Amino acid sequence: MRKRFSVILCIVLLVFVFFSNIHLSYAMERGKLEETGHVIWNIKTDKKLIALTFDDGPHPVYTSQILDLLAAYKAKATFFVVGSRVKKYPELAKREIEEGHEIANHTYNHLYRLKLDEKTLKEELERTDEVIYETTGVYPIFYRPVGGYYNDLIIKTAVDKKLRVIMWSWHQDSRDWSRPGVKKIITNVLDDYRPGDIVLFHDSGGNRSQTVAALKVIIPAIQRAGYEFVTISELLRRTGIDPDPVF
């Protein structure tokens, strides 16, 4: 019995060491990427600024509701839009820009895989850039890989297209995509927010009623703590970083 327990303990320890090393390697890779300025997860600052970001939209129901909320609280956000959905709902993309928010690239067809070839990814980014410009008169300067997956090719392709990659703060994934319940989404965000955070939400890709309900609590709670909600560009600009550098 003791021998069996020792074997199980050794296996558990090996698994722990294995995954710890993966996390360490990932963290080291992140550090190197952040140094280049090509990829951003969050901003180190004492200023009480937070960037709300929304992926996968626009959506005819939930995007409108989120925009109404943002307007009510005088909060700004960045929308990482899917090009095909901008084509389908151009009025919502126009509204985002008209109301002082920011639009960024989230590919044209929301291709959810890591192994994208360079040609396909370039086409996805270019088509999205063009439809955003045709719709709003503004070219995006930021890109978020679908699912947050990235590799050297994805980063290089984005940089070649003059797009800075924007991820999100590791402690600020609201996990609203899994529809865990309104209370859980609220807890995920309010339990550990900090200056310079980039918070991940979704305004499309499924039923986002939980997201809308959670935001009604999250936004005023963080504002009461003295924080301001700004676009990614504004977050960078007000912390001394050029939002649109020439790479």
pLDDT tens readout for residues 166-178: 999 999 999 999 9
Number of domains in the chain: 2
C-alpha to C-alpha distance for 130 and 132, rounded to whole angstroms:
5
> Are residues 43 and 23 both part of a single domain?
no
In this prediction, residue 29 carries a pLDDT of 82
The answer to whether residue 29 is domain-embedded is yes
Same-domain check for residues 5 and 96: no
pLDDT of residue 33: 81
Residues 111 and 30 in one domain: no
152 vs 11: CA distance, rounded Å: 33
Residue 243 lies in a domain: no
Instruction: Give residue 125's identity as a one-letter amino acid code.
Output: L
User: Is the same domain home to 11 and 66?
Assistant: no
Residue 88, C-beta contacts closer than 8 angstroms, at least 6 positions apart: none
CATH number, domain of 123, equals 3.20.20.370
Higher pLDDT: 84 or 112? It is 84
- Are residues 115 and 197 part of one domain? yes
| 193 and 130, same domain (yes or no) | yes
Residue 247 lies inside a defined structural domain of this protein: no
Burial of 70 (0-12, 13-18, 19+ CB in 10 A): buried
- Comparing CA positions, the residue from 156, 218, 216 lying closest to residue 192 is 218
Contact 42, 76 (CB under 8 A): no
Nearest to 165 by CA among 34, 76, 3: 34
Between the CA atoms of 64, 197, 192 and 169, what dihedral angle is there, to the nearest 10 degrees? 90
Looking at the annotation, which residues are catalytic?
Answer: 55, 202
> In this predicted model, what pLDDT tens digit does every residue of 181-209 receive, in sequence order?
999 999 999 999 999 999 999 999 999 99
Mean pLDDT confidence for 15-38:
58
Same domain, 54 and 130: yes
Structural domain includes residue 57: yes
User: Is pLDDT above 70 for 7?
Assistant: no
Same domain membership, residue 196 and residue 116: yes
Which residues, 6+ apart, have CB-to-CB distance to 178 below 8 Å? none
Q: Which domain holds residue 172?
A: 39-237
Q: What is the pLDDT of residue 197?
A: 98
Note whether 152 and 213 are same-domain residues.
yes
Q: Is 119 exposed, middle or buried (0-12, 13-18, 19+ CB in 10 A)?
A: exposed
Angle at which helices 209-224 and 62-72 cross, to 10°:
10
Q: How far apart are CA 2 and CA 48, in angstroms?
A: 54
Task: Name the DSSP letter for residue 18.
Answer: H
Supply the pLDDT for residue 22.
34
Q: Are residues 68 and 32 in the same domain?
A: no
Interatomic CA distance for residues 27 and 153, integer angstroms = 19
Say what percent of the chain tops pLDDT 70: 86
Q: What's the confidence (pLDDT) of residue 12?
A: 39
Lowest mean pLDDT among 20-29, 71-80, 83-92, 110-119: 20-29
- 164 or 11: which leads in pLDDT: 164
pLDDT over 70 (residue 16):
no
Look over the chain and give the mean of its residue pLDDT values, rounded to a whole number: 89
